[in-house]
Amino acid sequence: MTNVNRYRGRPKRDANHALIVAALEAHGWFVQDLVGVGGGCPDLVVFRVRPTERPRWAFVEVKDGAKKWKRHNPKVLERQQAWADRFARFGGKVEMVTCVEDVQRFVAETP
C-alpha cells in the first residue's frame, strides 16, 4: 500500500515561509513544520504555553502574498477545507498568513 500524501523529493515551501516561522517564534510560539505531510494539510502547527494560561495551538497555512494563490485547483481547496473541519472539531483553527502583519494579527487575536 502506498501513501499518496508523501512528496517525492523536497517539499515546496512558499518564499516567505522562513520569515513567517521566525515571526511566530519571536512571539513565543513553538513551530513544527508540516509541509512534507501533503494532502492539503496546513504548513505549520504552532503551540504556545504560558504559566498562567492554558496551552494554545493552531494550524497555519503559509501563502506567498505575491502570488495569485487564490486560484488553487478545487480539489486542493476541498482537501484544505477537510483538514480545517477536522481541526475545528477538536478546538483547533487553521490560520492563513501571507506576511509578518498577518502573524501579528494572529498573535493579537489569540489570547
**Model confidence over 55-77: pLDDT tens digits?**
888 889 888 876 655 566 677 77
For residue 71, the model assigns a pLDDT of: 60
Q: Quick one: three-class SS letters along 43-105?
A: CEEEEECCCCCCCEEEEEEECCCCCCHHHCCHHHHHHHHHHHHHHHHCCCCEEEECCHHHHHH
pTM recorded for the entire structure: 0.78
What would the mean pLDDT of 46-56 be, rounded to a whole number?
86
- Higher-pLDDT residue of 92 and 36 is 36
For residue 2, the model assigns a pLDDT of: 44
Q: With cut-offs at 50, 70 and 90, classify the pLDDT of residue 80.
A: confident
